[in-house]
Amino acid sequence: PVLVVDYGAQYAQLIARRVREARVYSEIVPHSMPVEQMLAKKPAAIVLSGGPSSVYAEGAPGVDPALFDAGVPVFGICYGFQAMAQALGGTVARTGLSEFGGTPLRVTSAGDLLAGQPEEQTVWMSHGDAVHEAPAGFEVLATSAGAPVAAFEDRARRLAGVQYHPEVVHTAHGQSVLERFLHDVAGIRPTWTMVNIVDETVAAIREKVGSGRLVCGLSGGVDSAVAAALVQRAVGDQLTCVFVDHGLLRKGEAEQVERDFVAATGVSLKVVDAQKRFLDALAGVTDPEEKRKIIGREFIRVFEQAAREVVADAGAHGETVEFLVQGTLYPDVVESGGGEGAANIKSHHNVGGLPDDLQFQLVEPLRALFKDEVRRVGEELGLPAEIVWRQPFPGPGLGIRIIGEVTAERLDILREADAIAREELTLAGLDRDIWQCPVVLLADVRSVGVQGDGRTYGHPVVLRPVSSEDAMTADWSRLPYDVLARISTRITNEVREINRVVLDVTSKPPGTIEWE
Ligand code: XMP
């Protein structure tokens, strides 16, 4: 792999993704990892990320110079660039001219790294210190007002670096810098393609499970679907999927799992119709946290029962079910500080709450993948686009989008309104511009309206379109008025109980994305 050494900036994951976009496999490691341990991973190259410290501050994480003696190509970015310069005998100092944001850069000598790039360009900077003198053996390639040495390389030793951030989109030629380093300076062949990801994952699953049997819970979302499809491709009929239909999915989603997913993959699927059970458990409940707890608890119970049946079925044929498939993604692994082996159980729709007498080994085929890679794997495996491109949807489903008690009738009303909103957003080509658009039914609110010649006394729904990078923060999406108008007209015309459509124009914070 290419190792991305994380110096504590928020950029390490982004760098790792960009490296993979250059079709080279990457992994993130903490800067505290000893050099021998990094080298033991047989890295094809090492990228030192940016970080918040100043290289000459007390206790600043440095780079062990041994890293540069191993013959492994190294690329430094921002802080990593300065740490590299310092470790190899260059000088780093405060310039007095900090640069933040878009900054003009002049390429003075393209070298291998900046070959083919415009002499004058804008790059994204974020630094107070700068490299003043490059270490011996390095050629200076570029400069900016605040960074006398803004890029350098040592071709013989295959070491290079830049003061700016090539991984952010604001650096127009950034991806090309990374690709020049990886493909040309380091000489790595770009083989991390979807076909190879699928082949390697399938081989790894086969090796891990042998002839063992597996069970997998499907939620309707992309992660569990792709995880299951990969396992299905690897070991076919050793897998049984369980789909708990709790009745809180959106229109058509249960069918997507039960019909389209099965048709695309051929998995053996056990469907549990638990709609009545969930409605009974939710009867009379209006408190959001209580709803979430009830839905989570019921889900685990129903899944547990289904898993026991799968185990019993296998037992009747003299077999055991040893493995549980989970759709854990690489960011979850990195964020939980886990390298190898650290089992990370996602909240809510997982089965971390299973009792001790029902324990499985985890199989997590997506542990190495970012979300966008999971989607592309899903496409490669031929899964339905509705599943592969599904926007984030909360585990408790529509249960937390009905403000007030959840009833079958209210679920039907919300499902219709939500389906109209989704359809119009898709028709307008906005699906990939917005992060998600919850539709929320204010079930206990009524307002007066007029329709035809008559007075109505119906409910409002709220549209909550948001744009976001990671759901931690979000802004309300400025949807075109004509799209909003079409959604509003159609919902009030087609869903009898709704006579008003309102738009939520709150960012997060202070509002959360969901209303409950
Ligand atoms: P909030 O409402 O906290 O939502 O701003 C942030 C993101 O998380 C989703 N969400 C959930 N996802 N289980 C999930 O798997 C949950 O219980 C849950 N609650 C909220 C929400 O849709 C948004 O994308």
Whole-complex ipTM:
0.98
Q: Among 467, 468, 461, which residue's Cα sits nearest to residue 515?
A: 461
Ligand 1 geometric centre to CA of 291 (Å): 14
Q: Domain for residue 33, yes or no? A: yes
Q: Among 26, 34, 32, 25, which residue's Cα sits nearest to residue 6?
A: 32
- CATH number of the domain residue 469 falls in: 3.30.300.10
Residue in 418, 513, 516 to alter for ligand 1 test, most ligand atoms within 8 A of Cβ: 513
User: Which atom of ligand 1 is found nearest the CA of 515?
Assistant: 2
Does the structure show a pLDDT above 50 at 345?
A: no
Active site residue 200: no
Query: Is residue 343 very low, low, confident or very high in pLDDT (cuts 50, 70, 90)?
Result: very low
- Beta strands of 31-109 (E only): which ranges? 45-48, 74-77, 91-107
Are residue 202 and residue 168 in the same domain, yes or no? no
Active site residue 165: yes
Are residue 369 and residue 407 in the same domain, yes or no? no
Are residue 333 and residue 205 in the same domain, yes or no? yes
Does the structure show a pLDDT above 50 at 454?
A: yes
Q: Domain for residue 512, yes or no? A: no
Query: Is residue 352 very low, low, confident or very high in pLDDT (cuts 50, 70, 90)?
Result: low
9 lines ligand 1 (CB under 6 A): no
Are residue 210 and residue 318 in the same domain, yes or no? yes
Active site residue 423: no
Q: How many domains does the chain have?
A: 3
397 lines ligand 1 (CB under 6 A): no
Predicted local distance difference test score (pLDDT) of residue 341: 34
Are residue 383 and residue 350 in the same domain, yes or no? yes
392 lines ligand 1 (CB under 6 A): yes
Q: Domain for residue 394, yes or no? A: no
- CATH number of the domain residue 152 falls in: 3.40.50.880
Does the structure show a pLDDT above 60 at 338?
A: no
**Which residues, 6 or more positions from 229, have their beta carbon under 8 angstroms from its beta carbon?**
261, 264, 265, 267, 378, 381, 383
Q: Domain for residue 111, yes or no? A: yes
Ligand 1 geometric centre to CA of 430 (Å): 21
Are residue 411 and residue 348 in the same domain, yes or no? no
Does the structure show a pLDDT above 60 at 348?
A: no
Ligand 1 geometric centre to CA of 278 (Å): 20
What CA–CA distance (Å, rounded) separates 214 from 46?
Answer: 37
pLDDT digits (tens, 9 = 90+) for 122-147: 999 999 999 999 999 999 999 999 99
Are residue 213 and residue 347 in the same domain, yes or no? yes
Q: pTM here?
A: 0.88
Q: Domain for residue 393, yes or no? A: no
Q: Domain for residue 396, yes or no? A: no
Of 127, 151, 185, the position where a domain reaches its end is 185
Identify the domain containing residue 375 by its residue range.
Answer: 194-388
Predicted local distance difference test score (pLDDT) of residue 470: 81
Are residue 351 and residue 262 in the same domain, yes or no? yes
Are residue 157 and residue 277 in the same domain, yes or no? no
346 lines ligand 1 (CB under 6 A): no
Predicted local distance difference test score (pLDDT) of residue 342: 33
514 lines ligand 1 (CB under 6 A): yes
pLDDT digits (tens, 9 = 90+) for 459-513: 999 999 999 988 889 999 999 999 999 999 999 999 999 999 999 999 999 999 9
Of 185, 212, 242, the position where a domain reaches its end is 185
Are residue 140 and residue 174 in the same domain, yes or no? yes
- Which residue among 31, 165, 246, 459 is the active-site one? 165
Query: Is residue 349 very low, low, confident or very high in pLDDT (cuts 50, 70, 90)?
Result: very low
- CATH number of the domain residue 260 falls in: 3.40.50.620
| Residue 48 and residue 77 in contact, taking contact as beta carbons nearer than 8 Å | yes
Does the structure show a pLDDT above 60 at 350?
A: no
User: Which atom of ligand 1 is found nearest the CA of 346?
Assistant: 15
Ligand 1 geometric centre to CA of 397 (Å): 9
Are residue 494 and residue 377 in the same domain, yes or no? no
Of 367, 388, 409, the position where a domain reaches its end is 388
HSE (CB half, 13 Å, CA atoms) of 509? 1
Does the structure show a pLDDT above 50 at 301?
A: yes
Instruction: Give the mean model confidence (pLDDT) for residues 2-18.
Output: 90
Q: Domain for residue 54, yes or no? A: yes
Instruction: Give the mean model confidence (pLDDT) for residues 299-308.
Output: 95
135 lines ligand 1 (CB under 6 A): no
pLDDT digits (tens, 9 = 90+) for 208-229: 999 999 999 999 999 999 999 9
Q: Domain for residue 511, yes or no? A: no
Q: What are phi and psi of 423, to 5 degrees?
A: -60, -45
Are residue 135 and residue 242 in the same domain, yes or no? no
User: Which atom of ligand 1 is found nearest the CA of 435?
Assistant: 24
Does the structure show a pLDDT above 50 at 346?
A: no
Ligand 1 geometric centre to CA of 245 (Å): 19
